[in-house]
Structure 1
Amino acid sequence: MEYAQRKEYEINPQTMALIAKYDDCGQVITQVVERGNRFEITKCPSQVVDDSCRYFASSLEGRILGTKQVTSYTHKPPIVISEAMGIYFFPIISPKRKECSWVAHKYIRSYQGESDHTTTIQFSNGVNLNLPVSVGMFANQVQRTAHFRVILEDRLNDRPGVQETSSERIAETFS
């Protein structure tokens, strides 16, 4: 793990998770988990997400409003950081809280609940990460993000002549 703290960071296709943690002064900072790297950012995870959304010409608030418009999800909505790169993230608690961690949907291989009511995620590269959220809540966020991805990708791709429905694509995501 890289111990030097960075001040700036944009979410990219290698970003798997943004984990909220406390520094020695009690401030919330972000541990960035990438496919082959981990390091810390001196901002809270939702600020990193907002900065990344702004880098891609939006904002966290704008992305949340967009998700609500598309899906009617009002609490902890998943968001798309970049449509072009297919980067979708979801929060594990309210994104208004500094302690909110974010997870990239595409890297989740599996997850399981633990006896202490946390959830351990296994990412596609074999990295395991334990988060302070129940497995039921985590499973719900994974499903909602899959649903959002299918709807948005159908709209973005505007696939004329394809008879496949969003429900069929969601079923494929979980098979």
Structure 2
Amino acid sequence: MSKELTEEYIVNSCTRYIQPKEYGNKVFSLIGEVEEEVLSPVKPFNIIQKSCAFYGVDYEGRRKGTRLLIDYSRKLPIVIEPINNIYTFCSASPENPKCIWFFAEHIKDYRRVSTRETMVIFRNNQSQIFPVSYSTFNTQMLRTSYLQMKLMQRVEFNKEKLVFLLHGPRNLKASESSELYLNKKN
């Protein structure tokens, strides 16, 4: 994997993780994409905030929306951009300088390595060990899946409502002919 340096990084469909890296007394971001790693002098949390704004909603709005949908209050997963299925979750409090951000769409599997480490297997079959406990990673994956499900349920509900408003109630037909039942009444 090649490393590229950029100051203006926006999360996109290729982003797999954003991990803090210390350089002297400054925290940089090591961003794992599908084909390369990108290094940015911006902290991971700031990249998340900037990316939410880029897609039209501020981080706090996304956070409040998540809280309303799934009724949790700590280490909330965030929908950065729902149309392209960009959901992220944090390994610790977002303000924690050691917090790693993972992007659920790219995670194929994960396994316990030790009490404080988890191996993440990405969809492209690359794997990497991260300093995150398995239970924390698992909980965060479950919360993110729950958020995705709740959001999709709302989208589907609105689609059904729109179809009803545009076309009226659908005539449901039984798989059997109604003639069988009409003849039995006689």
Band of TM-score, shorter chain: 0.7 to 0.9
Q: What is the TM-score with the length of structure 1 in the denominator?
A: 0.86
Structure 1 unpaired stretches of 5+? 162-175
Q: Which residue of 2 aligns with 1:149?
A: 148
Structure 2 unpaired stretches of 5+? 162-186
Q: Which residue of 1 aligns with 2:13?
A: 13
Contact 2:18 2:102 in 1 (8 A): yes
Displacement after TM superposition at 1:117 (Å): 2.1
Q: Deviation per CA, 1:52-83, whole angstroms, max 9, x where unpaired?
A: 00001112222111111111111100010001
* Residues 10, 157 of structure 1: alpha-carbon distance in 2 compared, 3 angstrom cutoff: farther
Contact 1:90 1:103 in 2 (8 A): yes
Displacement after TM superposition at 1:100 (Å): 1.3
Displacement after TM superposition at 1:156 (Å): 2.3
Give SS of 2:160's match. coil
Give SS of 1:85's match. coil
Alpha-carbon separation, structure 1, partners of 2:114 and 2:89: 23
Give SS of 1:66's match. helix
Aligned pairs for 1:8-87 (under 5 A) are 8-23=8-23, 25-87=24-86
What's the C-alpha RMSD, in Å, of the aligned pairs? 1.5
What is the aligned-residue identity percentage?
A: 28
Alpha-carbon separation, structure 1, partners of 2:127 and 2:117: 13
Alpha-carbon separation, structure 2, partners of 1:125 and 1:145: 20
Give SS of 2:21's match. strand
Contact 1:92 1:100 in 2 (8 A): yes
Displacement after TM superposition at 1:116 (Å): 4.9
Runs of 4+ in 1 over 6 A off after TM superposition: none
Q: Which has the larger radius of gyration?
A: 2
Alpha-carbon separation, structure 1, partners of 2:7 and 2:140: 29
Aligned pairs for 1:73-152 (under 5 A) are 73-152=72-151
